[in-house]
Amino acid sequence: MADDISIRAATPEDAEALAAIYAPYVRDTAISYELTPPTTEEFAGRIERTLERYPYLVAECGGVIVGYAYAGPFKPRAAYAASVELSVYVDGARHGEGIGRALYDALERELVAAGVTNFYACIAYPPVEDERLTYASVRFHERMGFEVVGRFHGCARKFDRLYDMVWMEKIV
């Protein structure tokens, strides 16, 4: 477990480091259903758009960015304002060190303080675990207090395979 984790707000200047963390998820796994890693410029724009309304956090260990998490709209209509979709990505070499938990804990505190009560995660899910996708993200979210509330079967094709998606929910 990393004991020197610090969490701070992301800035567009973090885009290069965050894009580097995200790119292997896109290129090598079915965790992300994007097919092409975003450029640094695209990533900076995503950070800026998110920060207009929601928190976007980075985790650092020893001054090096090792993960990030952010919230986004669950649905765009105003009646859904107390609901958000969360995402978290950790440097692949740093899994199991508590970085994802630290990011989600900090994100949850900020969102609850802003009046958010419903957290959702849309997670890639394999019909059968394979070398590109396991159940690890679902297990992580379960440890964070989420539960599966829905599953879409064969809704995404990546690496010439069909993958599912599950929705998980946490009410605070």
pLDDT digit string, tens, across residues 82-112: 999 999 999 999 999 999 999 999 999 999 9
pLDDT, position 2: 65
Residue 1 confidence (pLDDT): 63
pTM of the model: 0.97
pLDDT value of position 105:
98
Q: Is 96 exposed, middle or buried (0-12, 13-18, 19+ CB in 10 A)?
A: exposed
Q: What is the largest CA-CA distance in the chain?
A: 43
pLDDT tens by residue, 21-31: 999 999 999 99
Q: Which residues of the chain have pLDDT under 70?
A: 1-2
Instruction: Report the alpha-carbon angle 126-165-74, nearest 5.
Output: 155
Residue 109 pLDDT: 98
Number of neighbours of residue 51 by Cβ within 10 angstroms = 15
Beta bridge partners of 52: none
Bridge partners, residue 84, by sequence? 73, 119
